[in-house]
Amino acid sequence: MTGGATPHGPKAHADALLAEVEAACARLATREDPAKPFSVLDLADLLQAPRARAYDVIRRLVATGRAEVAEAGHGATPGRWRLTQGPKPQRARKPATAAEQMWAAMRAMKSFSPTSLATHADVGEVEVTVEAARRYCRALLAAGYLRVVQRADRGHEAVYRLQQRSGLKAPVLRRVQAVIDANTGTTTVVGGAA
Amino acid sequence: MAEKRKLPPNLAALSNVSRLLSLVETCEGRGSSLPGLGVFYGRPGLGKTSAGTCCAVLRETVHLSVNPFVREKGLMQMIAAELGARVPTRINKDDLFNLTCAAMVDANRTIILDEADHLLRDTVINTVRFLHDETRIPIILMGEEDLSSKLLQFARVHSRVLERTGAEEATLADLDLLIAVEAKGFEIAPDLREELLTGSGYTHRYIVKNIDAIRRMALSQGLSRVTRADWGSRTFDKGDVPNPRVLPEYRRQPQRVRRVA
């Protein structure tokens, strides 16, 4: 999930692109003539970015309805686009991890079983399996976040209720590094804990 | 690890979920001079709360269920606490209001108030209005079919409603989706599906309930696929109640006739 010092991975890439799209819009709109069509090269100049990157940005602009084709390119003639008065897209505010999706769903549900939690949390970007929901519930139960409303019995699973609503950010289940001393029976957490 | 999405069907494709999502998007993307209250209404069982839960996952809205006893302070405390603000146990209304507004602005998330019918008291609904006016954060009121008309009596709130969207009855597409999500381990034949839809009164809650009835029936008969013929003359539940039974004449207690001497 969180890597080294510099963010990487598809999400970081998407975030960077989004920031660049915003920058592109701002710069295109503050040109002498904002309505003037622009080519990939114009945008690459404006952004001080490679042409491929400028093309990514244009594709994004068109996909979100903020730019449209002004002149179609053919052969050696490059295509030109112009900004539209299209809707400004919302900030991308999707939970990015399974834990965040489950936390959001469980805060909204009065009581839930791992299956119903998975059903409702499994609508976002990340797949949430029943097994993952079961694991998360078990961890939060042990940590005192959940209360058992109905104990598991033959044929049906346990039903939980969220009793400790600590806020918007999802508690995460982490593997921690610890030193365990069998002589004294002590466990000292040394790393990996958030 | 985060796998990229994905083929299996999920609740997000339900039509009422997209209705609520587009209502939330309208309120969030409104112009700066427009009010941002929304109303999502519909009769019980159409999956409004479920849609709210999906919305909480998809758009990070904050979904709060209002209880029938809530008053101004309780409402503000509930919102502030849900947004992760530390609410002192002893706090006056004015401070609480400011604290709640600050928490709402910080979190910058649309708030969905489920069972908003319980808010329909002058002081409480005005708290909602003030919170919205102060923060401009969209607030969606979710409630019964007649929520919009009940809001008419609160003109200042009513006039701030940007859009009203109704939850609609389930369609065949919704039914297929619910079957895909709920019916695990057995199959419901196409010839039974239409009857399942009408038999459930086009209501999501009864559809899920009846899918479970089919599951139990499949289990008891050892079927992996249930067809119309298997289902036979059984009926689906759509909330009809049995008529009160009347004792036949011959079993009624004989009326005592009082004789006058």
Fold annotation for A10-83: Arc Repressor Mutant, subunit A (1.10.10)
Burial of A191 (0-12, 13-18, 19+ CB in 10 A): exposed
| Record: contact A126-B53, CB cut-off 8 A | no
Decide if B84 and A105 are in contact by the 8 Å CB cutoff: no
Closest by Cβ to A120, choosing from B2, B53, B81: B53
Cα gap A121→A99, rounded to integer Å: 9
A172 in contact with B, Cβ within 8 Å = no
Q: What does the pLDDT look like over A109-156, one tens digit per residue? A: 989 999 999 999 988 888 899 999 999 999 999 999 999 999 998 878
Q: How many CB pairs under 8 A join A and B?
A: 83
DSSP H or E stretch at residue B62: strand B62-65
Write the class of the CATH domain A98-165.
mainly alpha
User: Is the peptide bond between B184 and the residue preceding it cis, with omega within 30 degrees of 0?
Assistant: no
Using the Cβ of B15 and the Cβ atoms of chain A, whether some distance falls under 8 Å is answered with no
Rounded Cα distance between B203 and B169, Å, is: 6
Which has the closest alpha carbon to A61: A30, A38, A36?
Answer: A38
Q: Write down the pTM of the prediction.
A: 0.72
Interface test with A, best of B14, B57, B140, B142 (most A CBs within 10 A): B57
Lowest mean pLDDT among A4-8, B89-93, B106-110, B161-165: A4-8
Q: What confidence score (pLDDT) does residue B242 get?
A: 86
Residue B208 tokens, joined: 């899920």
pLDDT of residue A82: 83
Q: What is the pLDDT of residues B38-69, one digit of tens each?
A: 999 999 999 999 999 999 998 889 999 999 99
Query: How does residue B162 score in pLDDT terms, banded at 50, 70 and 90?
Result: very high
pLDDT tens-digit readout, B92-132: 999 999 999 999 998 999 999 999 999 999 999 999 999 99
Q: Which residues of A touch B25 (CB under 8 A)?
A: 90
So what's the ipTM on this one? 0.83
- What is the residue-averaged pLDDT of chain A? 81
B113 Cβ under 8 Å from any chain A Cβ: no
Q: CATH 1.10.10.10 spans which residues of chain A?
A: 10-83, 98-165
Q: What's the first-to-final CA gap in chain A, in angstroms?
A: 12
More confident residue, A1 or B163: B163
Contacts of B107 (CB under 8 A, 6+ apart): A168, B62, B83, B84
Q: What's the pLDDT score for residue A24?
A: 78
CA separation for the pair B197, B214 (Å, rounded): 13
